[in-house]
Amino acid sequence: LQYHVLATSVEASAVPAGPNAPVASLDGENVFATRNTTGVFINGVKVKTADVAASNGIIHIVEKVLIPSGGLDIVGLAAANPNFSYLVAAVLRADASGTSISGALKAAGPLTVFAPVNQAFIAAGFPTIASIQAADPNTLKNILLYHVIAARVFSSDLAEGAKPATAGGGTVTITLAGGAKVKGNANPVASNIAITNVVAANGVVHAIDRVLLP
């Protein structure tokens, strides 16, 4: 609950225009406030009703519960979620390339990771964790870096047709019609962004249902 409380009253009109202004919560972690043409957002979650007056402050009603990172970085979040066990295996295998992907994903950031769930790796030709552990580390390195953006990008920051640059070089394409999707250059079909706005200590994770191919 403390992650939902600020030590000062802030009206919606006082939220800075533009993306993701950090504001300290009583929990000690920052929330990230955005005001744009479609409304006010906290960690990518829309403020449904703003500026509800209370005797000791202001209430903004948000559409979802805000979950703090608990100090976990992107690798820590993935390791704590069994749906990302294949992703964690891929990160560890890619470290053998000579580039520490795990180190890069633990860096201060901010970073955004489009994180393929286990089934996405299976569909991409890695039926087991053992198959990932036997894969070429450089191939995995190039694929994984293609899922990373060197910025904090919540779902509220995604725009139709946007082509953000990835840490691996090249861009991915964002579409919003019919639900948010992201597509790699070599993907015949875009990936659904199935779960959005998972906050990490060093960025944001969005779960996707296909591996992005550069």
> 214 lies in a domain?
no
Same domain (yes/no): 90, 32: no
Same domain (yes/no): 35, 102: no
**Which pLDDT belongs to residue 194?**
96
* Residue 19 pLDDT > 90: no
Residue 53, burial from CB neighbour count under 10 angstroms (0-12, 13-18, 19+) = exposed
* Residue-range definition of the domain harbouring residue 51: 2-62
* Residue 18 pLDDT > 80: no
* Residue 208 pLDDT > 90: yes
Same domain (yes/no): 149, 126: yes
> 164 lies in a domain?
yes
Contact status, residue 129 vs residue 86, Cβ threshold 8 Å: yes
DSSP 171: B
Same domain (yes/no): 85, 166: yes
Contact status, residue 164 vs residue 175, Cβ threshold 8 Å: no
pLDDT classification of 31: cutoffs 50, 70, 90: very high
pLDDT digits (tens, 9 = 90+) for 105-148: 999 889 999 999 999 999 999 999 999 999 999 999 999 999 99
> 87 lies in a domain?
yes
Same domain (yes/no): 33, 78: no
Query: What is the number of other CB atoms lying within 10 angstroms of the CB of residue 186?
Result: 10
Same domain (yes/no): 99, 201: yes
CA distance 115 to 78: 8
Average pLDDT, the chain: 95
**Which pLDDT belongs to residue 17?**
79
**What integer is the mean pLDDT of 161-171?**
96
Count: domains in the chain: 2
Same domain (yes/no): 48, 85: no
Same domain (yes/no): 41, 141: no
> 148 lies in a domain?
yes
pLDDT classification of 16: cutoffs 50, 70, 90: confident
Same domain (yes/no): 51, 86: no
pLDDT digits (tens, 9 = 90+) for 73-88: 999 999 999 999 999 9
pLDDT digits (tens, 9 = 90+) for 42-83: 999 999 999 999 999 999 999 999 999 999 999 999 999 999
∠ CA 174-128-81, rounded to 5°: 60
Torsion of CA 58, 66, 177, 148, to 10 degrees: 130
CATH number at residue 7: 2.30.180.10
Same domain (yes/no): 28, 100: no
Last residue of a domain, one of 26, 41, 62: 62
pLDDT digits (tens, 9 = 90+) for 89-116: 999 999 999 999 999 999 988 999 999 9
Same domain (yes/no): 56, 80: no
> 213 lies in a domain?
no
* Residue 2 pLDDT > 80: yes
> 68 lies in a domain?
no
> 158 lies in a domain?
yes
> 150 lies in a domain?
yes
**Which pLDDT belongs to residue 70?**
93
**Which pLDDT belongs to residue 109?**
86
